[in-house]
Amino acid sequence: MSRIGKQNISVPAGVKVAVNAGAKTVSLTGPKGSTSFTHQPQVRVAYDDASKSIACTLDDPTKIDEGNRRALWGTTRAILDKMVIGVANGYSRKLEVVGVGWTAKAQGKKLVLTVGFCNPIELVIPSTVTVTIENNTIITIAGVDAQQVGAFASLVRSQRKPEPYNGKGIKYSDEVIQRKKGKAFGA
């Protein structure tokens, strides 16, 4: 038995669930947006409106595990749980641009980073993600899908990773940079 897969997912008020068993899709709509997911045919997904919960089961639990059926069961449940949290509350990631004269600007559907290179870096913002910038140095990336928010935040950070000597670069707001001493002069 999958320890994760057998747990039901409680659906908060304001979130609408639509399960299409024939097409193997689950659609969720909430205050932060909507999303859908197509699950594997080995897993059954059912929504109980009375108890406001989503249950994931295997199509035939007595069948011998052929490859990754149990893994698909737990993965499907985990993805649906993240989707419920995303449409109800949303996901966000904060990044800080650290460096003298280093800035970030949102120009239309592009994020423009000026981080010490001769030319500014332009990144296209995905349609499922919103980017807000405070004081030209704090970037907040928000959206319904945790994977897309994290992937875009990682892409932005990879443009200029923080370095350990001066601490300059783009870092997550909760990230701690281990600082190094540098050269000692005049020993």
Instruction: Name the E strands within 31-168.
Output: 33-38, 43-48, 53-58, 91-98, 103-107, 110-114, 121-124, 129-134, 138-143
The architecture that CATH gives domain 91-172 is Alpha-Beta Complex (3.90)
Listed in sequence order, the residues at least 6 apart from 33 whose beta carbon sits closer than 8 Å to its beta carbon are 86, 87, 90, 143, 144
Does 91-172 match 9-88 at the fold level?
yes
* Domain covering 9-88, topology: Outer Surface Protein A; domain 3 (3.90.930)
d(CA 55, CA 49): 11
d(CA 171, CA 177): 8
Tens digits of residue pLDDT in 11-62: 999 999 999 988 899 999 999 999 999 998 888 899 998 999 999 988 766 6
Show me where the domains of the chain are located: 9-88, 91-172
Tens digits of residue pLDDT in 98-113: 999 999 999 999 999 9
User: How much is the pTM?
Assistant: 0.85
